[in-house]
Chain A
Amino acid sequence: MDGEELTEQETALYDRQIRVWGADAQRRLSKSHILVYGMKGAVAEFCKNIVLAGVGSLTLVDDRLVTEEAFSANFLIPTNENVYSGKTIAEVCCNSLKEFNPMVRVSVEKGDLSSFGGEFYDKFDVVVVSCCSVAKKNLINEKCRKLSKRVAFYTVDCRDSCGEIFVDLQNHKYSKQKLEETVECQLQYPSFEEAISVPWKVLPRKTSKLYFAMRVIEQFEEAEGRGVGEISIADLPGVLKLKKEICEANSLNASRIPDTLLERLIMGAREFPPVCAIIGGILGQEVIKALSGKGDPLKNFFFFDVMDGKGIVEDLSNTETGSRVAVSRGLTLE
């Protein structure tokens, strides 16, 4: 394959997962570089998963100082003040992650992600951002898209007992097993901006209500100049008013976004650890699929809500393959 064989140490350590995705996928993983921004619970889970999986390197960006709120759903931060005092969240998490797998390089990068240029993003194969405003998501997504090399872009957000993942793999080629034979496939992804600009009225009838609810809250925070999650129950009237306006503008029946759901989302500033485990698990799996080029990756949103227990995949694209063929899983190239 790529020439280099796995070492004896790697074969022993990764035995059980090589049985899942094969030795060549393991080799590709070990040469990949991941950037994460915003070390909240779901991202901490994701980091654990890919460090265990054996990626080449992981770079963490989060300059916030550790507070009590930060470790509520993040097991990478010990509650011992002597350990975290004076350190940034990224620094503390980095120290914990290094221990999970000595073969993975984990490091910290300081600064504002929006100000980093193309040469910075060019070092990575995967960029995962969390707790970002819509504007910031769009900005980073575009920076990734402008590079000559393809960088997979993900956003992840957990609010209360709900979680959302967005995926942009641009033009993704991969192979999958179909019965006995290996089939080559290709998928075309829209950017985050393109995806959320798809008019609501053309979206499929059964589109997850969580998708709409997340957009309403995102827009509220943006309009009010709030940081992500800087929202409380006191904002409910304002959020409901905005929902009404957006629904009218989009010709969407306002009952498609239950008030109770919005209420839950703005009340639960703290993440719910089991949801972080689930979202971080799904995201880890998706990144491994994307890096190894094996298996159908999800396109292009994933939602989980404890209330109905469903982990839903939505294909929300404004391309021709968009809404109507939301379930089609890729084109065969042969």
Chain B
Amino acid sequence: MASEGHLSPIKGAKVLMVGAGGIGCELLKTLALSGFQDIHIIDMDTIEVSNLNRQFLFRQSHVGQSKAKVARDAVLNFRPGMSITPHHANVKDPEFNVDFFKQFNVVLNGLDNLDARRHVNRLCLAADVPLVESGTTGFLGQVTVHIKGKTECYECQPKPAPKTYPVCTITSTPSKFVHCIVWAKDLLFAKLFGDKNQENDLNVRSSDATNSSEQAKDVFERRKDEDIGQYGRRIYDHVFVALTDAFSSVSAMASLGLKNPQDKWSLLESTRVFLEALKQFFLKREKEIGNLSFDKDDQLAVEFVTAAANIRAASFGIPLHSLFEAKGIAGNIVHAVATTNAIIAGLIVIEAIKVLQKDTDNYRCGSYLFRMTYCLEHVSRKMLLMPVEPYEPNKSCYVCSETPLLLEINTHRSKLRDFVEKIVKAKLGMNFPLIMHGSNLLYEVGDDLDEDMVANYAANLEKVLSELPSPVNSGTRLTVEDLQQELVCSINIKHRMLLNFHSFWGWGVFIPLQICSDEFDEEKEPDGMVLTGWTQAPAVVGNGGSTSNARQAEAEKDTEVDEISEPSGKKRKLSEVDIPNAADGTGNHKEVKELDDDDDDEIW
């Protein structure tokens, strides 16, 4: 494989790398050493200090610069003469359309979020370009090969959705520290410093009956000329004092002197940090208030959220956490080390070379030409790197086959906007959707629409489905298309008010459980809609079995982390591989088929 004769398909290949982060840096280096000559890189991120422990192409002096561009320059330094084209941009930008993807022989993903992975998967399918996909977390990693029609696509198995928590758990009955973090970050922080017009469930039960006469809205507003210290104490009183009496001993102006992020603050220290952080927001960053959203790299925001979550945790008897730990939970930070990324990058290049060397048309499933490989933390069946047979495409996958989906929805109540936002964008992952009922256009997104159309679509968005110009009722089949992804799928609509099933995050499972209310169960199905269609085994009831830990839980869309996408439990025979969950140390059993040794010369 290393011999000269195999270098020509490598030299002539044009490769697209998506992501120049942890895996990306390693990948670019290994591609360069392996003889690749023509590489494009897309990455929208800029370099941060916490990248430098593993993204070895970057230095302290590069912080703030484009990853794609700095990575290019760094590699050209040791291997000049290659062609590396950096794109400091989002892979979802319209310029990266199917024609753009078609110029490449293979696409290599080193991404950190589900959203972008799904998007690239669709473009690779539409452009018919092989995709090598990867992910790492801590010591765990995996590489998979996706070739249209030959192996399963990235979306053939549904991925565990980000965990969400019932509102009442967050607002009233927290039992884990993560609940306090979500409360502090998504409710309190957003309420105080974010967009005031956003809906917010922050509703703190107060022991003080007189408070009920106050308009809840005004409590969080800083009154004109109100002293910032007073305002801070008032907010503190409002959100915490109902729960704890620790307040009286607090001096808002106390200098903090807290240094070590590994230390757990006492309740008093948390209180001080809370007040001090709040004060600093108003005194030093007042212009940003109203537009802030939580960012794990915003030190003050992390301090505020850590303090608030710890005060709340103390009130509910939940163990306290250090700023370091709280930041990991709030920022959804996934562990990352250089070694795993280097190993995974090596495996990606091996698969990429095989894709380029072999005529993929000759590929048969079962020939084991391509592999998916797991990088394990603990030895399993004598292996640390475990190759697994690739899977055939899922015939009921709405992305790579044309199987229609079924949507159960209250057509008399749900608006087209709900359908667009919660189903088409959130669940189907489309960016530029076009929705048709027969030959009638209900909705589309684009730059070249005339005003009448725009107004028409805007009006449609606010109508309930059954009252659209072309009414959507039980039995209607909608066609939803994404023009950029060139993905078309059909959705059969079923009107439903009575719901007597239990479902988890809307996909797949349909288990009659009980006859219950005449409404959707809001706790279990907050969107009031159930999308089904994939016929995979319901083995992952809960949260895919792998999202039970707080870091993966409550995931944000574009956290800058190397996230692993784990295989879920499609009926896959054979024994179990123990892929422990690096985050919480619990075993996570997977069913995968190990590749058999293909040498027949092992005879005794």
Contacts and interface: CB of A to CB of B under 8 A. Distances in A.
B387 A275 contact: no
B408 to A, nearest CB: 40
Interface in A33-53: 41, 45, 48-49, 52-53
Interface in B19-60: 26, 29-30, 32-34, 49-50, 52-54, 56, 59-60
Contacts of B49: 12-13
Given A267-B3, A274-B30, A308 B342 contact: no
Interface stretch (A115-123, A127-135, A143-151, A280-288): A280-288
Q: Point out which of B79, B259, B385, B599 has the most chain A C-beta atoms below 10 A from its C-beta.
A: B385
B14 to A, nearest CB: 19
Nearest to A204: B382
A294 B598 CA distance: 35
Interface in B365-388: 371, 373, 375, 377-379, 382-387
Interface stretch (A75-83, A220-228, A241-249): A75-83
A211 interface: no
B386 A310 contact: yes
Using C-beta atoms within 8 Å of the partner chain, give the interface range for chain B.
35 or more
Contact of A278 (B2, B60, B346): B346
A79 B2 contact: no
B32 A75 contact: yes
B1 A308 contact: no
A49 B50 contact: no
B92 to A, nearest CB: 25
A248 B462 CA distance: 83
Contacts of A5: 260
Interface string A307-328: 1111111100000000000110
A302 interface: yes
A167 interface: no
A273 B30 contact: yes
Interface in B550-604: 582, 585-586, 595, 597-599, 601-604
A278 B260 contact: no
A268 B3 contact: yes
A112 B182 CA distance: 59
A271 B34 CA distance: 10
Q: Looking at B26, B34, B339, B386, which has the most chain A CB atoms within 10 Å of its CB? A: B339
B80 interface: yes
Given A75-B33, A268-B3, A281 B340 contact: yes
B343 A53 contact: no
Nearest to B22: A16
Interface in A1-58: 5-6, 8, 11-20, 23, 41, 45, 48-49, 52-54
B582 A20 contact: yes
Nearest to B387: A309
A160 interface: yes
Interface in A252-281: 253, 255-256, 258, 267-268, 270-278, 280-281
A258 B379 contact: no
B336 interface: yes
Contacts of B601: 255-256, 258
Contacts of A308: 387, 595, 597-599
A20 B562 CA distance: 13
Given A16-B53, A75-B32, A267-B3, A253 B603 contact: yes
B337 A17 contact: yes
Contact of B379 (A23, A177, A278, A296): A296
B52 A285 contact: no
Nearest to A278: B346
Contacts of A72: 33
B383 A311 contact: yes
A329 interface: yes
Nearest to A255: B601
Contacts, number: 209
Contact of B339 (A18, A209, A288, A307): A288
Contacts of B604: 205, 253, 256
Nearest to A272: B2
B349 A15 contact: no
A72 B59 CA distance: 24
A323 to B, nearest CB: 13
Given A14-B53, A77-B78, A302 B384 contact: yes
Contacts of B34: 272-274
Contact of A304 (B341, B377, B385, B586): B385
A23 B262 contact: yes
A284 B2 contact: no
Nearest to B603: A255
B261 interface: yes
A147 to B, nearest CB: 27
A274 B139 contact: no
B335 A20 contact: yes
A256 to B, nearest CB: 7
Contacts of A329: 379
B1 A272 contact: yes
Nearest to B561: A16
Contact of A15 (B53, B340, B384): B53
A201 B471 CA distance: 78
Contacts of A177: 585
A16 B30 contact: no
B66 to A, nearest CB: 19
B138 interface: yes
A311 B384 contact: yes
A106 to B, nearest CB: 14
B423 interface: no
Interface in A72-124: 72-73, 75-80, 96, 99-102
Contact of A274 (B53, B138, B350, B382): B350
B114 interface: no
A205 B52 CA distance: 45
A109 B350 CA distance: 35
A13 B77 CA distance: 24
Contacts of A75: 29, 32-33, 78-79
Contact of B347 (A45, A77, A274, A313): A274
A312 B382 contact: yes
Interface string B65-100: 000000000000111100000000000000000000
B333 interface: yes
Contacts of B60: 102
A53 B78 contact: no
A177 B601 CA distance: 40
B307 to A, nearest CB: 19
Contacts of B499: none
A65 interface: no
Contacts of B78: 75-79, 96
A303 B577 CA distance: 20
Contacts of A20: 138-139, 335-337, 582
Contacts of A309: 347, 350, 371, 373, 385, 387, 595
A233 to B, nearest CB: 10
A179 B586 contact: yes
Nearest to A327: B382
A278 B353 CA distance: 15
A298 to B, nearest CB: 7
Contact of A78 (B33, B77, B347, B382): B77
Given A75-B33, A209-B599, A311-B386, 16 more contacts: A11-B262, A16-B54, A20-B582, A48-B342, A52-B54, A78-B78, A102-B60, A253-B604, A258-B601, A268-B2, A272-B2, A277-B343, A284-B339, A309-B595, A311-B383, A312-B382
8 contacts: A53-B337, A96-B78, A101-B52, A160-B2, A273-B33, A277-B345, A280-B342, A312-B384
Leading 8 A-B pairs by shortest Cβ distance: A311-B385, A277-B346, A309-B387, A273-B33, A281-B343, A272-B2, A281-B342, A274-B346
